Chain A
Amino acid sequence: MDIRPILASLRRHRIPALLIVLEIALACAVLCNAVFMISQRVASIHLPNAIDEAGIAEVTLNGTDPELAGSDIPRNLAALRGLPGVQAAAVVSTLPLSQNNWGWGFGTKPGDTLTDRGSRNVSMYFLGSGGDAALGLQVLEGRSFNDGDYADSRFDKSPLPETHVVLVTRSLAAKMWPGQPAVGKTLYATPHYYTVIGVVADVLRPYIGDVNSPANYDAAFFPMSAAGSKGALSHYVVRSAPRDRDRLVREAEQKLADLNPGGVAHGRGYPEIRRGYFADMSSMAWMLVLVCVVMLAVTAFGIVGLTSFWVNQRRRQIGIRRAVGATRGHILQYFQTENFVLSTGGVALGMALAFGINVYLMQRYEMARMPWFYLPAGAIALWLIGQASVLGPALRAAAVPPVVATRSA
C-alpha cells in the first residue's frame, strides 16, 4: 500500500497525530521499564536456595538461659525427634532469608583480617549437631561435619567459633579460589583460620541484595556444640515430608513451649519465611502489573477515541473514495496503515525514552541494565495494541456506504 496519501493526510492533522505518537512513546517507555522491574522482582522471589524448603519447619526459642543450653538443647531435640513424621531435627543460629545476619570478613591469605581490602564479607551459619541433615544441605565436594566436628566447636572470647573446619557454598568457593578445588584450602580471619572440608550447593544468605547482586550466596557453615554455643543456637529446624510440615510447626512449637516454661517459642514453615522476606517485593510487582494493565487500557481507549473522531471527520472523503472504486478492504487497510505509521513513530521515540529512563534509574536507584530485547518486545506490544484498538473504528469507516459522497455532510 502506498503510504504517501497517509503521510499527506497526517501532515494536515499534525497535532492529533503528534499526540498519538507521544502517548505511544510514553506508554512504550513506561511499559519496558515496568516490565523489567517486574521481571527483576519475580526473579528475586524465585532465587534458588539449596535447602529442603518444602520440608522445613522452624521454631525460634527465646528467653531461655544460655548457660543451660548444653543440657536444654539435647533434651529439646530428643523431644522434637519423637514427634511423628520428623525425619531430622537440629538447632541452628539463623536461616536463609530470616534477616538475622551474622557477617564476618574472611580472606584467603594468612594474616588477612576483617578489615583488609581483600577480605570478603561472608554470612556465617552455625549448625548444631545434625544441622546439615535437618536443613538438607547438598554436599557437592568433600564431606560434611562429623560428630567430632560438632562436639569440638564452641565460642570463647571472640564472635568467631573455636573450630578449624568450615563448609562453603559453591559460589563462595568459586570466588575465593577461582578455578581451583576449594576442599583443603583455608579461610583466614586472623587469628582464626578454618579449613574447607566440603563445598555445598548454593544456599542464600539471611539477608540478600537484589537479584543481580553477586554476593547473595556468600555463606559459610560452621559446626557448633550445644554446650559452647553461648546462646547463639536458638532456631530449631524440624525436617519432614512437605505434607507433615504445617502440622509439625504447631506441634513443635507446643512441645518447645511446654519444655521451656520461661521461654517464648514461635514456629513458622519455611515457605512462610520466604514469603515474608519477599512480601514487599511481590506487592510492588503486583502494583506494577496493575499500573501496566491500566496504562495500556488508557492508551488503547485514547487511540480508539481519536481514530473514531478521524473516521467521523472523513466520512465524506471515505464515501468519495468508495464511490470512485475503493473496496472496503482498501479503507480498512488505510486506517490500519495509518495507525501503523503512527505507532512506528511512537515506539521509535519510546524505545529511546525507555533506554534513557533505564539509564537514569541505574544511576539513581541501583537498577540493573535492561536487556536489549525488552525494547523490541515493548515495541511489538504497542504495535499490536495500536492495531487492535484501530480495528473497531476502521471497520466502521469501511462500512461507510459510497452514497455518502452524494450527500452534503
Chain B
Amino acid sequence: MEKMPRWADVVLVPVVSLLLAALISVIVFWAVGQNPWEAIKLMAFGAVGTSDFLGYTLFYATNFIFTGLAVAVAFHASLFNIGGEGQVLLGGLGAAIVCLFVPWPHWTLALIGGGLAAAVFGALWVVIPAYLQARRGSHIVITTIMFNFMASGLLVYMLSDALRPAGQMQTATAVFPEATHLPSLNDIAQLFGADTFGRSPVNISIFLALLACVGVWLLIWHTKLGYQIRAFGQSESAAKYAGISAVNITMIALLISGALAGMMAVNNTMGINNPQLIDNAAGGAGFIGIAVALMGRNHPVGIIIAALLFGALYQGGAELSAATSVPVQIVVVIQALVIMFTGALDEMVRAPIAKLFLRRNARAEA
C-alpha cells in the first residue's frame, strides 16, 4: 500500500485527533451547562491573554517538555513509563535536599547540582520497576503506578515530618537559600530593560528543557545506544538476535526516562517565586507527559509543540475554573481525550485519511 505523504502523518493526523477531542470537550461543556464558546474564549484568554498568563503557560510547558521526553524515551524502547508523577516527586526531593544542605555560592552551580540531584533521584525511583521488568517480567505499568502511590506517601512523610521546619504550618520544606533561586525570564528581560512575563514563575530552566530536547534527539537518532533502544522497541526478538541485551536496554531506557522526569523538579522547586518543595508539587505533570509524548509522536519537536499546547490548556483551565464553576478537572478530561484519540484510536483517524490519499494517488496515476 502506498503510504500517505509525511506531512499528513505528522500534521494532519494529530490535528484531526485534536479536533475530535475538542468536539467531545464541547459536548462536555454543554452537558454541564457551560456555553462552550464562552469557555473556550475564557481558556484562550487565560492561557495567552496577558504577558503574565503567557508566562505561566510557558512555565507549565517547561514541566511538560520534561515529562513528555521522559515518556517518549521509554516509548522508543516500547516501554510505558507511567510513573513520571512519582519520579518528578522524588526529583523534587533530590533538588530540595541539595539546595537546603549545600551552601551554593551562585545559582549557576546550584542549577547544575540541583539538576543532577533531581535527575539521580528520579532515575533511582524507577530502578526497582525497571529491574523487575527486565529480570522478572513484572508489568512496568502496574509497578510504576504503585511507585507513584508510594512516592506520594514518602513525600507527605518527608514534607510533614522530616523536612518541614519547626513552626511552619504549610506541608513543605523551608524556602531555599537565595543563591539557589533560578532567575526568572522576567529577571532576564529586565537586564535588557524590558518587562515581560510579570510575576509568572517561568524561568531559566525552560532553556534546560530545550537542551534536554536536543539531548534526546541526539541520543535517539544519532548514537549507537539510541539505535539499540529503537531497535529493541521495534522488535525485541530481532534486537536480541542482533546481540542487543534486553536487560541492559530496558534498564538504560527507563533510567534515562526517570532522570528526565526527575529533572522537571528543577523548574517547579528552584524556579518558582518562593523556591521550595511543596506538597503535590508534580500536579499531574507526569501523566500529562503521556499525552504530550503521544501527541508529539515521540519526537522532541513534536513534544515541544504538544507541551506548549498543554501548557496553555493547563493554565487556561486554571483561569477558567477561577472564573466559572467548571472545576480544573476539565483539563484531565481533555488530556484523556487527547490520549485516547492520538494513542489508542490512532487507527480510527489514520485509516480514513490514508484511504483518502490512496484514492487520490490512484486517480493521479490513472
Binding between chains A and B = no
